[in-house]
Amino acid sequence: MARLHTKHPELCDKVGGLLAMHIDDLRALAPMWLSKTEEVREDRAHWGTNITGDIYGTGWISEMYGYSFGAAEVGLRHKIDDNLMIYPGYTPRKGVEPILMHYGLQFSVGNWSFSKLNHHEDNIVYDCNRLFPAPPFPREVQMMESDPNKRRGLFLSIECISSLNEGLLLHHASIGCSKPPWSKYLSFLKSETFSKLTRPKYLTHDNMGSQKSELQQGVVEPGGKYPKIHTVFSTECSPYFDWQTVGLMHSFYLSGQPGNITRLLSCTDGDLKQYTGHDLAPTHYVPSMSRHPLTGDWYPAINKPAAVLHWLNHVEIDAEFIVILDADMILRAPITPWEFNAERGRPVSTPYEYLIGCDNELAKIHTRHPEACDKVGGVIVMHIDDLRKFALLWLHKTEEVRADKGHYATNFTGDIYGSGWISEMYGYSFGASELNLRHIVSREILIYPGYIPEPGVNPRVFHYGLEFSVGNWSFDKANWRNVDMVNTCWTRFPEPPDPSTLTSTNEDILRRDRLSIECMRTLNNALRLHHERRNCLNPSTKAILNQGIERRAPLPRRVGSERTDIPTVVSRASALPVQYHVASFLRFSMVVLWGFSVLGFLAVISVALSSRKGERTRSKGYTNKKRASYSGLSDTNGNSHQLHDKQHLSNAEMALKA
C-alpha cells in the first residue's frame, strides 16, 4: 500500500494521535496530507483489513494513512515517543507516566465500561447534572487487581472518565444548573484522593531524552519532583479591573501554568452589593483597604499586600510555592519554581531598576538590612513558608513608607510623580530585606510591551502597565479606567496593526512591535470569548435590530427654543448595547397599548351610561325632580369621566414623548 501511494515508502512512519511539528514543516505537509487522504479513501480495492489493518475494512482510517504517506512524500521522519500517550484500558509501561489519554476505544474497570460511541447522539452537555456512569472507586480497584502496573492502568481509566465527569459538572454550573444532589461519587470528585489522582503530569528527564523542547524544559523540575503551585493576583470591584481579569484568566489557561489560580478581590460592602463580576475568576473576597481604616489615607495599591495576608490567614493552602502576579499581565508560558530555581529562603522576581530607594537613605530609614534590599517586583515566586513570615511585614512596611511623606520626592524614590504611589513596591523590598530574603532576579520572565526584549530571551509575561505604541497606534490602560468592557457586548480595544504591515528593517524593533501586537490581540481575543460565553447577540443580529429601531418614525424633541426632529433612541444607538434598544421599543409599545386600553374602557363606560340615560328618559314613573337629579348625576359623572379621560390622554402623550 505504501508503494502505491508514496514515492518514498521507506520513510513511512506508523504514527498519529499527538503531533508536535515546526510551522514550516506543517505548511509543506498540510496540502499533501489532504490530497493523500483523498487518494487513499478512493482506493477501495485496498480497504481490506489484511492491507490496512482497519478492523472495519471500510476505509475509515484513510486520514491516518494520508498523514503518514503525506509526511513520507515531503521527507519528514518522526521522533517516535512511546511514553507520551496511552489508551485508557491499556497497561502503562513500568516507570512511565503518560501525559495524554486518548479515549477513542472502549475501556473497562471490572464490570464497568465506557465507549464514546455509545454517546454519539447524547445530549449530556445540556442535561443538567447528568454524568457518564460512575466507575469503581480506587479502593475497589486495590482489591480487584494485585499487579501494581495493571492496577495503575485501571487508575488511569478512572482518572479519564472522572475528569470527563468533572468537566461536565463545571460546565453545567456555568450554564446555571442547580447544585447537584449529594452522592458518594460527587464526594469522591471533590476528595483529596481524586485531587492526587488527577494532579498534573510532566515529562521527566528520563523519558524526554534528547527531544526536550523549550516549552517542556519550562515545566520540568530537576530531579523529577513537582511541588504544587498556586497563582494569585489582586483586583478591586470595578470595570477597570474586570477587563484585566478577563485577559489574565484567558492567558492563564492558554499558557499551561500549573496549579490553580485565585483572584484576591478587595471591595467595600457597598461596592460588593452592586458588583456583578463574581464569575470572572475563582475568587477570595477581601475587605477593601483603599481608604485606610485608621488613617483615612486613600491608597488602593495597599490592597495587594493586605489581600495576600488575608488570603493566607483565611484559606487552607496546600501549594508549596505561590506565584504572585498583577492583574494587568498576560501570561505567555508557565512560570515554575523549578525552572527558575526558586526554593525556601530564595524567592524569584523580576527587576524593577527604578526603585533607587534601595541604594539611598530611604532603605537606611526603613530597614535594618539595607544591603539586602533587592530592586524587584511584578512577578514573585515564593515558598509558602517564606510568604507566611513575610506578608505582614510587606503590609506594615507599605504603611510605613506611605506615611513617610518627607521622602516622597523623585530623587529619593524614583517615583516620577513624587506622590508616594509606589510605596507598596518599597514595602515589598524593605519587608523582604528585613527577613534577609535575597531574590534570584530573572530578566527572562517579564517584559513591558513597547520595550525591546533582551537578546535570545522569550519573555513569559507581558506587563502592560505603561503606554505602548506600534506606529500611529497606541494603547494606555489608564484611558480605559471607566469603560465597562466586560458587560457591554462585543466591546474591544482598538486593533493593533497587522504584523505583516511592519516595515522596520531593525530586527529589535520588529520583535518589540510583534510582541506589542501579540499582547493586544490576546486581550481582544479574551474579550471576544468572554462575550461569546455571555451569549451576547451576534453582531450581525444586533445590526439588523438596530436598523429596525432606526426605521421607526422620529418623535419631535424640543431643545431650548428650537424644535428638532431627532429620534431619541437612534441618537444613542452607537453608545448603548442592543438590549437597551429592545427594552426601549417594548416600553414604547406598552405605553401605546395602555393608552388604547384606557380609551376603549372609557368608550364602553360612555355607551353604558348613555343607554341608562335613555331608559330613564322613557320611563314615566320618574318625577321631574328625579329626572333632574339623575340628569345632574349623569352630567357630574360625564364631566368626571371627561376629566379622567383628559388626564389619561395627557399621561399617554407624555409617555410617548418620553
3-state SS of 207-262?
HHCCCCCHHHHCCCCHHHCCCCEEEEEEEECCHHHHHHHHHHHHHHHHHCCCCEEE
What local confidence, expressed as pLDDT, does residue 596 receive? Answer: 73
pLDDT at 135 over 60: yes
Confidence of residue 624 (pLDDT cuts 50, 70, 90): very low
Q: Which residues contact 340 (CB under 8 A, 6 or more apart)?
A: 348, 381, 440, 442, 444, 445
Element at 331 (helix H, strand E): strand 329-331
pLDDT at 606 over 80: no
Lowest mean pLDDT among 17-21, 109-113, 292-296, 586-590: 586-590
* Residue range 578-586: mean pLDDT, rounded: 47
* Residue range 557-561: mean pLDDT, rounded: 36
Q: Which residues contact 538 (CB under 8 A, 6 or more apart)?
A: none
pLDDT at 628 over 60: no
* Integer Cα distance of 426 and 363 in angstroms: 9
**Residue type for position 257:** Q
Give the mean pLDDT of the chain.
84
Confidence of residue 20 (pLDDT cuts 50, 70, 90): very high
Nearest Cα neighbor of 326 from 516, 462, 522 is 462
What local confidence, expressed as pLDDT, does residue 440 receive? Answer: 97
Q: Where are the alpha helices (DSSP H) in 315-416?
A: 337-340, 361-366, 384-403, 410-413
What local confidence, expressed as pLDDT, does residue 544 receive? Answer: 57
* Residue range 504-520: mean pLDDT, rounded: 95
* Integer Cα distance of 101 and 104 in angstroms: 9
* Integer Cα distance of 568 and 481 in angstroms: 28
Q: CB neighbours (10 Å) of residue 282?
A: 11
Confidence of residue 499 (pLDDT cuts 50, 70, 90): very high
Lowest mean pLDDT among 47-51, 430-434, 537-541, 619-623: 619-623
What local confidence, expressed as pLDDT, does residue 613 receive? Answer: 52
* Integer Cα distance of 237 and 250 in angstroms: 19
Nearest Cα neighbor of 128 from 162, 161, 170 is 170
Coil, helix or strand for 100? strand
Nearest Cα neighbor of 169 from 152, 187, 153 is 187
* Integer Cα distance of 113 and 625 in angstroms: 97
C-alpha angle 563-569-574 in degrees, rounded to nearest 5: 120
* Residue range 626-643: mean pLDDT, rounded: 40
pLDDT at 578 over 70: no
* Integer Cα distance of 510 and 502 in angstroms: 7
* Residue range 459-482: mean pLDDT, rounded: 97
* Integer Cα distance of 282 and 311 in angstroms: 13
Query: Is 235:327 a contact under the CB 8 Å cutoff?
Result: yes
pLDDT at 215 over 70: no
What local confidence, expressed as pLDDT, does residue 192 receive? Answer: 85
pLDDT at 131 over 70: yes
Greater pLDDT, 150 or 569: 150
What local confidence, expressed as pLDDT, does residue 204 receive? Answer: 52
pLDDT at 640 over 70: no
Confidence of residue 587 (pLDDT cuts 50, 70, 90): low
Lowest mean pLDDT among 134-138, 161-165, 263-267, 595-599: 595-599
Confidence of residue 112 (pLDDT cuts 50, 70, 90): very high
The whole-model pTM stands at 0.54
Greater pLDDT, 347 or 637: 347
pLDDT at 238 over 90: yes
Coil, helix or strand for 275? coil
* Residue range 251-255: mean pLDDT, rounded: 95
Confidence of residue 322 (pLDDT cuts 50, 70, 90): very high
pLDDT at 35 over 70: yes
What local confidence, expressed as pLDDT, does residue 330 receive? Answer: 98
Confidence of residue 207 (pLDDT cuts 50, 70, 90): very low
Query: Is 245:213 a contact under the CB 8 Å cutoff?
Result: no
pLDDT at 430 over 60: yes
Summarised one tens digit per residue, pLDDT across range 353-406 is: 999 999 999 999 999 999 999 999 999 999 999 999 999 999 999 999 999 999
How many helices (H) and strands (E) would you count in the chain?
A: 22, 18
What local confidence, expressed as pLDDT, does residue 94 receive? Answer: 84
Sign (positive/negative) of CA torsion 620, 625, 628, 633? negative
- b/e for 537-563, b at 16 or more Cβ within 10 A? beeeebeebbeebeeeeeeeeeeeeee
Summarised one tens digit per residue, pLDDT across range 334-357 is: 999 999 999 999 999 999 999 999
What local confidence, expressed as pLDDT, does residue 545 receive? Answer: 56
Distance of CA 423 to the CA centre of its chain: 30
* Residue range 586-595: mean pLDDT, rounded: 66
Strands 473-475 and 468-470, sheet pairing = antiparallel
pLDDT at 101 over 90: yes
Q: Which residues contact 216 (CB under 8 A, 6 or more apart)?
A: 203, 208
* Residue range 125-149: mean pLDDT, rounded: 91
Element at 197 (helix H, strand E): helix 192-197
Start-to-end CA span in the chain (Å): 78
